[in-house]
């Protein structure tokens, strides 16, 4: 959680602190690399679940629907004779959080061979292309902000 909080702080520092023009593209690239590193585990998990995931039904063991932005369920499911526990936000194929009750079934997608990796969704889509475009857009945005900052600072110097 801390690394995700640090990204906006780094972006604000990038915007606020004057940086020489030749260093700005390199620093922008480092910020994008940091964003990639922060999101890489999630991207990798979604990709693996979409390509190799197996579907199963699980049983809801606890429901957390009080806060609108943090609605998730705890569940357990069987693979062979072994029971696994999971937790996550409800996705495709499942009822809305407020409509579920403890003991009801939910669709689960898990990673065979590593059953501790699971999500309460019937199917998982990977968004590698979307993330790639997002990272490229972030880099272009950072370069644009850098140029705008340089022009703004140059115009302030002329006024003084």
DSSP states of 43-79 as a string? HHHHHHHHHH-EEEEEEEEEEE-SSGGG-EEEEEEEE
Question: What pLDDT sits at residue 117?
Answer: 92
Question: What pLDDT sits at residue 85?
Answer: 94
- Cβ distance 76 to 87 under 8 Å? no
Cα gap 100→60, rounded to integer Å: 8
Question: What pLDDT sits at residue 121?
Answer: 84
pTM of the model: 0.72
**pLDDT by residue for the chain (160 residues), tens digit each?**
556 677 788 888 887 788 777 788 888 899 899 888 988 888 898 899 999 999 999 999 998 887 777 788 899 999 999 999 998 887 776 777 778 889 999 999 999 999 999 988 877 877 888 889 999 999 999 989 888 888 887 787 776 6
Alpha helices for the chain (secondary structure H): 2-16, 24-52, 128-159
Question: What pLDDT sits at residue 3?
Answer: 63
Cα gap 99→36, rounded to integer Å: 36
Question: What pLDDT sits at residue 159?
Answer: 66
Question: What pLDDT sits at residue 79?
Answer: 93
Burial of 51 (0-12, 13-18, 19+ CB in 10 A): exposed
Question: What pLDDT sits at residue 151?
Answer: 83
């Amino acid at each position: 959680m801390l690394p995700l909080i640090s990204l906006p702080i780094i972006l604000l520092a990038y915007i606020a602190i004057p940086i020489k023009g030749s260093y700005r593209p390199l620093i922008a690239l480092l910020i994008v690399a940091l964003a990639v590193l922060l999101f890489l585990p999630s991207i990798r998990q979604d990709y693996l679940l979409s390509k190799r995931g197996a579907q199963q039904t699980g049983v809801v063991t606890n429901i957390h629907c009080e806060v609108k932005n943090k609605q998730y369920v705890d569940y357990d499911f069987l693979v062979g004779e072994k029971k696994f526990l999971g937790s996550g936000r409800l996705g495709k194929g499942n009822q809305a959080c407020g409509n579920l009750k403890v003991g009801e079934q939910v669709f689960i997608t898990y990673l065979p061979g590593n059953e501790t990796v699971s999500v309460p969704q019937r199917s998982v889509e990977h968004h590698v292309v979307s993330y790639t475009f997002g990272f490229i857009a972030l880099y272009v945005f950072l370069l644009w902000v850098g140029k705008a900052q340089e022009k703004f600072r140059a115009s302030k110097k002329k006024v003084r």
